[in-house]
Amino acid sequence: MTQVYSGGTKRFSGIFTPIATPFRADDRLDETALRSNVAKWMTTSLTGLVVLGSNGEAAQLDDDEADRIVDIVREGVPRDRSLIAGTGRESTRATIDATRRAAAAGVDAALVRTPSFFKPQMTSDAFARHYTAVADASTIPVLLYNVSMYTGVNLLPDAVEKLAVHPNIVGMKESGGDIAQISDFVTRTPDEFTVLAGSATTLFSSLCAGCDGAILAVASLVPDACVRMAALVRDHQIDEARALQRRLLPIARSVGSSYGVPGLKAALDLMGYVGGVPRPPLRPVTSEVVEIIRGQLDTLGALAAPARAGALG
Amino acid sequence: MTQVYSGGTKRFSGIFTPIATPFRADDRLDETALRSNVAKWMTTSLTGLVVLGSNGEAAQLDDDEADRIVDIVREGVPRDRSLIAGTGRESTRATIDATRRAAAAGVDAALVRTPSFFKPQMTSDAFARHYTAVADASTIPVLLYNVSMYTGVNLLPDAVEKLAVHPNIVGMKESGGDIAQISDFVTRTPDEFTVLAGSATTLFSSLCAGCDGAILAVASLVPDACVRMAALVRDHQIDEARALQRRLLPIARSVGSSYGVPGLKAALDLMGYVGGVPRPPLRPVTSEVVEIIRGQLDTLGALAAPARAGALG
Amino acid sequence: MTQVYSGGTKRFSGIFTPIATPFRADDRLDETALRSNVAKWMTTSLTGLVVLGSNGEAAQLDDDEADRIVDIVREGVPRDRSLIAGTGRESTRATIDATRRAAAAGVDAALVRTPSFFKPQMTSDAFARHYTAVADASTIPVLLYNVSMYTGVNLLPDAVEKLAVHPNIVGMKESGGDIAQISDFVTRTPDEFTVLAGSATTLFSSLCAGCDGAILAVASLVPDACVRMAALVRDHQIDEARALQRRLLPIARSVGSSYGVPGLKAALDLMGYVGGVPRPPLRPVTSEVVEIIRGQLDTLGALAAPARAGALG
Amino acid sequence: MTQVYSGGTKRFSGIFTPIATPFRADDRLDETALRSNVAKWMTTSLTGLVVLGSNGEAAQLDDDEADRIVDIVREGVPRDRSLIAGTGRESTRATIDATRRAAAAGVDAALVRTPSFFKPQMTSDAFARHYTAVADASTIPVLLYNVSMYTGVNLLPDAVEKLAVHPNIVGMKESGGDIAQISDFVTRTPDEFTVLAGSATTLFSSLCAGCDGAILAVASLVPDACVRMAALVRDHQIDEARALQRRLLPIARSVGSSYGVPGLKAALDLMGYVGGVPRPPLRPVTSEVVEIIRGQLDTLGALAAPARAGALG
C-alpha cells in the first residue's frame, strides 16, 4: 500500500491534484467516472485532492453540480487525506455562501480564487477586504488562490503579507511561474503559512524557493513523480530533482498552457482514468495532440501496455 | 415629451445605456430604486436600455436576482424602446439557458459576452462554435459582446466576419477603443449588421468610423448629449461633434476606466437617480472622488441646483 | 505640374513621407537611387520628406552615412517643400549634436524620437528635460516623435502638454493608432502646435480627431491618395474619406506592422522607385509577399502596366 | 589576497560585474575614476568584468568613448581574470565592426545584445542570421545577450538551441527572471555552453536551475556575497543560499528595476567607488533614495564606517 505523502508539519503542505470533472457525451456530470477516478487516486501517495478548481472546470459548473461533485468526492476521500474545494466567486457574498456549503459538506479547506471581473478595482485593498470577510465567515480554513493566467489580476505579495496573519487564512496557491513573486510569498509570510506551487513547469524551482508543496494537474497523471520531486528537494538532492523536472516538462506543458483542460482530459483517458469530454466552448484535443501526449507519457514510463500500443482513443 | 432616438434603419442601432443595479445597504437588490431609475430614463431620448451588462454588476448577481431584474425593467420599458439583456456565461449550455430565460421574460435581444476563463483555448474557432450554438438555440436576436478590458480575451474581426452572416446574430458591441479594430468590424460585416461602440472616450471616433450607435454608461447620466453626438456625426458636423467629445471626456473617463461601476453609481446619485452601493468587493468611491465627479457633471451643465450646491452625498 | 499640398496654416502641417534608405547589394548606400527617388517624389503633391526616420533605417546607419543622406536629399528638395530629419539618439548630448548637424545641412526641422533604452527611467520628467535641452540648443524647430511600437516607451499627453508651450517645439508625430491618445494630443496642445499622424491604418480617424497631417510610409507609394484623404476630411466628406481609408488599408498594413521596412522597399521597387535591399539583420520579403503587395497596389490602380504584369522582381 | 573565483571548467563561468561608466559633472568620461574603480574590483574575488554593458550606459556612448573605455579597463584587468565587452549594435555590420575593435583591444569575449529596433522583424530566424554572421566574423568568442527589459524583444530557447552549436558562440547572458526560460536555456544547450544569469533578484533560483554563473550589477557592490552564493548552490547548501538571496534582495531591486543605473551609481559612491553622474536624460537619484540604498547596504554589513555615518553624499 502506498503511503500518503505529507510535505511537512504545516497544514495542507504536500502534493495535491486539482481533479478534472468528467462529463458524459450529453454534457452531464459522469458520477460513476468521478467515483472511480477518486478511488484510483486514493491508491497513490497524493496528500489530497482539490475539487472545483480551475482544472475542474468550476467556472462552467452550476451550483447544484458543484455541490453534487463535492459530496461524491468527499465520500471517496478518507480522513487521512485532505480534501480542498474551490469556492471563489465574483462577489464576496457568493464566495461566503459557496464556502459555507463546502464546509457543510465536510471539506477540509476552501481554495478561494481572487475575484477578477472588475480588474481596475481589484486592488490590494479590495482583495484584503474580500478575503478577510470570507475568512471571518468561514468555519474551515481558507487558502488564497492567485491564478493570473486565467483571471488577469495579480494578488501581490503586499496583500498576501497582510492576509497571512489572519488566523483562518492558512496558506495559498500561486499558479504562476514568476519565481521572484513566489520567493516573496515564502519570505514575507509567517513560518506556519503554507505556500503551494501551481505551475508544474516550474515545480523544481518553486520548491527550491521554499514552497511547501504543490497543487498540480500533472499530479493527476504521475502523482508519485511529483511526490518524489518534493522529497528530493527536501533532501537537497538538487541534481536529481533538476533532472526529474526536465523529464516532467513536456507533459507539464501539455496539460498546462499548451492544451489546458482538454489536454488533461485526454491524458487521463490514456492513464486509465475517465477524462471524458470537456464542456463547450472547450472541446476535445485532436487525435494528433492525443498522440503527442501519449508519447510524452510513454517516455515517462507512465503508460500501461495497452495505452502504449495506442489501443485507447 | 422627448422623442425616442433611433440611430437608423438597422435593428438595435441608436444610443443605449447599460443600467446599474442599485443595491441597498444590506447588499440586496433595491427594487424600488430600480423601478424609479427606469422610469426616469424613459423620459429621455435613449433608444433603449441594456440590463445585466458589465455595469449592471452581472458578474456579481445570482440567477434569481438576474431574473427579477429583467422582470422589473421589462415592465418599465415600453415597446417603442428596446430592452437588451446580458446573458453571457462561461459555458455554452449556461449561456443558452440564460438567453432562453431572458427571451421568456420579453427581452428584445441578448447581448452575449465572450466566455473567457480558459483564455488560451478561447480561439476564434471556439467563439464561432459558442456563438453559433447560442444563436441557433435562441428565439431572440443575439448581439456579440467583446469587452477585453474585463475578459482579457479579444473577439477578432475574423471571427466576427464569419458570425455576422448568421441570421440570428444581428450585431455586436465592442467595448474597447481600438479604432482600427472597430473600423474592421464595420468594414467586414454586412450592411445590416449593427456595430455598437462601448467606449465613451472614443465615441466620436467610433461613430466616424461607421458605428451605428453605442451602449454607454455615460448615457445613463447625459443621454441627450450622447444622442446629440450621434446626430452630429450622422449630419457630418464634425467640428461640433469633436468639440462635444472633448466636453464629455472627463466624465466618460470617470465612469469608465478611472472609477468604474462605483464611479457610475456616485454619478447617478448626483444626477437624481439612485445609484446605491456597489456590491463587495467593490466599494463606494471616496468623497474626494464624488467631488471630482460633481465638478465634471457641473461643467457639463448636467446638474440640477441642489446637486451643484453639494447638498447630496 | 502637381501642386504641393499644404495641410493648413500651421508649420509642418500636410502630408509627408519618411523615405527609405536604398542600399546596394554590398550593403552600402546607393546614392544614385536616393537621388532619383527624391526627384520622383518631387513630382507628387507631397508637402515634404522626412529623412532618417524609422523607415529610413536610421537605427542602422552610422553618423557619416546619415550626414551624407541629408546632404543628398537636401539638394533634391526645393525650398517650397519641407525637409525634416530624424535626429533622436539615446543621450541628450548626442541628440543635440545630431540636431545641430542636421541644421547645418539645411534641414527645416528635427524629428526627435524619444530616448528609450532605460525604459523604467524614461518618465515624463525625463522626457521633459531631454526635449527642453534639445529644443533650447537647436537652431531649427523641433518635432516630438512618439513611436512606441519600436521604442517600447510612451510619450504621454501630460508630457506633451508641457513641452508644447516651448517656443522651439512646434509639433509632434504620433506613430501609434490609439485614437484616445491622439485626441488628447490635439486637445491639450495650443492651436499652433502641429499634430501629425504616423499610422496609415488609422489615418482617417486621426484626421477626424484633429490631426494636421501625417508622416506616412504609404505616402511614398500613393502620395496623392494620402493628400486626397486629408482634403476630404478637411471638407467634411466623411463617407468618401472612410471609403478611401478602406481601400488604403491593405497596403497600409503591409508596409506597416506586417512586413515593415522590407515590405516598403519591395513596394517601392514595384512602384518604379529603387527600394533596394534592407540592411541585415533585416532581409528582403519573400517572393510570395512581393506578389501580395503587387496585388494590393494593383487594386489601388497604383501600378504602371509593366509592374502589373509581374515584370519586376 | 582574495582568490579569483572560477565557476567551473566552462569558459566564462563564474561571477562577473557589468561596470558602470563614471562621468564627470561636465558629462565627459572620468578616466581617473574608471581606473581606480577597476583597480578596486581587482582586489575582490570577481571572475571578471563586463565593459560596455547596459549598466555601462553603452547605449549612450559614442564609439570613441567606447574604445577608450575598453583600452583603460583592459590595462587594469590582469590575464587571470576575464574581460568581456558589449558590442551589440542594431545592424549586423556595425556589430561586426564593434566586435572586431574589441578583439583588437584585447577583450576576451564579446557580449552581443540582440538587435531590437524593428521588433516585428526580430524573429528567431533574424537572430540566427545575425549571430551567425557576427560569430563567423569574430576572432574572439561570442556570448549571446538577451535583455528583454530594455530591448522589448525575446531571444527564444529555439534560437539559442540552434546557435549554441556554433563553435564560436560559447555562452549567453539572460537578464530576465523567467525561470522556465532560463531552465530551457540550460536544458537545451550543450554541456560546454555557458549560461549566465543577469537578474540578481532571481540569482539563487537561476543557479539552482543550472546557470554557470552570473553577470550582475550588484556584484559591483558586494562581489564576495555573489561569489559565495554560487559556491553555496554548487555545494547544495540550499537553505543557506536561500537565506543569502533574501538578504541580497533589497539592494538587488534597488540597482535593478527600481532605480537602475542611477541607483547603481549612488551605491557605488557609498561603497567607496566613484559612480559619478549618469548621462542625461538619466539623472541622479534623489537624496531620499540615497538613504534607502545606504540602509540596504548597511544592513548587509557592506559599508565602511564613514559611509554608514552618512559622511558621503
| CB nearest to C280's CB, from D59, D120, D133 | D133
Question: Tell me, what's the pLDDT at A1?
Answer: 53
Question: Tell me, what's the pLDDT at C309?
Answer: 57
Question: Tell me, what's the pLDDT at D311?
Answer: 42
Average pLDDT, stretch D153-171?
98
Question: Tell me, what's the pLDDT at C67?
Answer: 97
By the CB < 8 Å criterion, does D90 face chain C?
yes
C-alpha cell at D313: 553624499
- Under a CB-based contact definition with an 8 Å cutoff, are residues C276 and C22 in contact? yes
Question: Tell me, what's the pLDDT at A309?
Answer: 57
Please indicate whether, in this complex, the C-beta atoms of B91 and A280 are within 8 angstroms of each other: yes
pLDDT band of B309, cuts 50, 70, 90: low
DSSP one-letter code for A270: H
C-alpha cell at A266: 485526454
pLDDT band of D160, cuts 50, 70, 90: very high
Best residue in C112, C118, C131, C155 to probe D by mutation, most D CBs within 10 Å?
Answer: C118
pLDDT band of C1, cuts 50, 70, 90: low
**Burial per residue of B38-49, b for 16 or more beta-carbon CB atoms within 10 angstroms, e otherwise:** bebbeebbbbbb
- For residue C206, the chain B residue with the least C-alpha distance is B205
Instruction: Give the 3-state secondary structure percentages of chain D, helix then strand then coil, rounded to 5.
Output: 50, 15, 40
For residue range A89-107, list pLDDT tens digits in order: 999 999 999 999 999 999 9
Catalytic residue at B173?
Answer: yes
φ and ψ at A214, to 5 degrees? -160, 155
Q: Enter the pTM of the model.
A: 0.96
Question: Tell me, what's the pLDDT at A311?
Answer: 42
For residue range D107-123, list pLDDT tens digits in order: 999 999 999 999 999 99
Catalytic residue selected from D10, D162, D173, D265: D173
Task: Using the predicted structure, report yes or no on whether residue C304 has a pLDDT greater than 80.
Answer: no
Residues D302/D307/D310/D313 CA torsion (nearest 10 deg): -110
Task: Look at C1 and A229; give whichever has higher pLDDT.
Answer: A229
By the CB < 8 Å criterion, does D123 face chain C?
no
Task: Using the predicted structure, report yes or no on whether residue B255 has a pLDDT greater than 80.
Answer: yes
Question: Tell me, what's the pLDDT at D1?
Answer: 53
pLDDT band of A313, cuts 50, 70, 90: very low
* Minimum mean pLDDT range among B3-12, B83-92, C280-289, D95-104: B3-12
Catalytic residue selected from A40, A119, A173, A265: A173
pLDDT band of B313, cuts 50, 70, 90: very low
Task: Using the predicted structure, report yes or no on whether residue A307 has a pLDDT greater than 80.
Answer: no
For residue range B287-299, list pLDDT tens digits in order: 999 999 999 999 9
Cis amide linkage into residue D281, ω under 30° from 0: yes
- Under a CB-based contact definition with an 8 Å cutoff, are residues C114 and C146 in contact? yes
Question: Tell me, what's the pLDDT at C2?
Answer: 76
3-state secondary structure chain B: CCCCCCCCCCCCCEEEEECCCCECCCCCECHHHHHHHHHHHCCCCCCEEEECCHHHCHHHCCHHHHHHHHHHHHHHCCCCCEEEEECCCCCHHHHHHHHHHHHHCCCCEEEEECCCCCHHHCCHHHHHHHHHHHHHHCCCCEEEEECHHHHCCCCCHHHHHHHCCCCCEEEEEECCCCHHHHHHHHHCCCCCCEEEECCHHHHHHHHHCCCCEEECHHHHCCHHHHHHHHHHHHCCCHHHHHHHHHHHHHHHHHHHHHCHHHHHHHHHHHCCCCCCECCCCCCCCCHHHHHHHHHHHHHCCCCCHHHHCCCCC
The subunits that touch chain A, with at least 3 C-beta pairs less than 8 Å apart, are B, D
By the CB < 8 Å criterion, does A17 face chain D?
no
Question: Tell me, what's the pLDDT at A290?
Answer: 98
For residue range A118-159, list pLDDT tens digits in order: 999 999 999 999 999 999 999 999 999 999 999 999 999 999
Cβ neighbours of residue D93 closer than 8 Å, sequence gap 6 or more: C27, C279, C280
Question: Tell me, what's the pLDDT at D312?
Answer: 40
- For residue C279, the chain D residue with the least C-alpha distance is D91
pLDDT band of C26, cuts 50, 70, 90: very high
Cis amide linkage into residue C281, ω under 30° from 0: yes
Average pLDDT, stretch A263-278?
97
Average pLDDT, stretch A170-190?
98
Q: For chain B, what is the mean pLDDT?
A: 95
Average pLDDT, stretch A64-69?
97
pLDDT band of C302, cuts 50, 70, 90: confident
For residue range D273-303, list pLDDT tens digits in order: 999 999 999 999 999 999 999 999 999 988 8
By the CB < 8 Å criterion, does B249 face chain C?
yes
C-alpha cell at D250: 533589497
C-alpha cell at B242: 469633436
pLDDT band of C244, cuts 50, 70, 90: very high
Q: To the nearest whole angstrom, how far is the Cα of D297 from the nearest Cα of chain A?
A: 19
Task: Using the predicted structure, report yes or no on whether residue A34 has a pLDDT greater than 60.
Answer: yes
Task: Using the predicted structure, report yes or no on whether residue C239 has a pLDDT greater than 80.
Answer: yes
For residue range D25-66, list pLDDT tens digits in order: 999 999 999 999 999 999 999 999 999 999 999 999 999 999
* Minimum mean pLDDT range among B253-257, C26-30, C82-86, D305-309: D305-309
| C/B touch flag: 3 or more CB pairs below 8 Å | yes
Average pLDDT, stretch B164-176?
98
Question: Tell me, what's the pLDDT at D307?
Answer: 73
For residue range A206-236, list pLDDT tens digits in order: 999 999 999 999 999 999 999 999 999 999 9
- Under a CB-based contact definition with an 8 Å cutoff, are residues A153 and A114 in contact? yes
Question: Tell me, what's the pLDDT at A304?
Answer: 77
Percent of chain D past pLDDT 90, that is, above it, reads 93
Give ipTM to 2 decimals: 0.95
Average pLDDT, stretch D245-266?
96
Cβ neighbours of residue B67 closer than 8 Å, sequence gap 6 or more: B101, B105
Query: Which residue is associated with the grid cell 556612448?
Result: D61
* Minimum mean pLDDT range among A54-68, C140-154, C278-292, D293-307: D293-307
φ and ψ at B78, to 5 degrees? -70, 165
Contacts of C242 in chain B (CB under 8 A): 208-210
For residue range B98-109, list pLDDT tens digits in order: 999 999 999 999
By the CB < 8 Å criterion, does C180 face chain B?
yes
Task: Using the predicted structure, report yes or no on whether residue C313 has a pLDDT greater than 70.
Answer: no
Contacts of A180 in chain D (CB under 8 A): 177, 199, 201-202
Question: Tell me, what's the pLDDT at B1?
Answer: 53
Question: Tell me, what's the pLDDT at D313?
Answer: 34
| CB nearest to C118's CB, from D115, D133, D282 | D282
pLDDT band of C280, cuts 50, 70, 90: very high
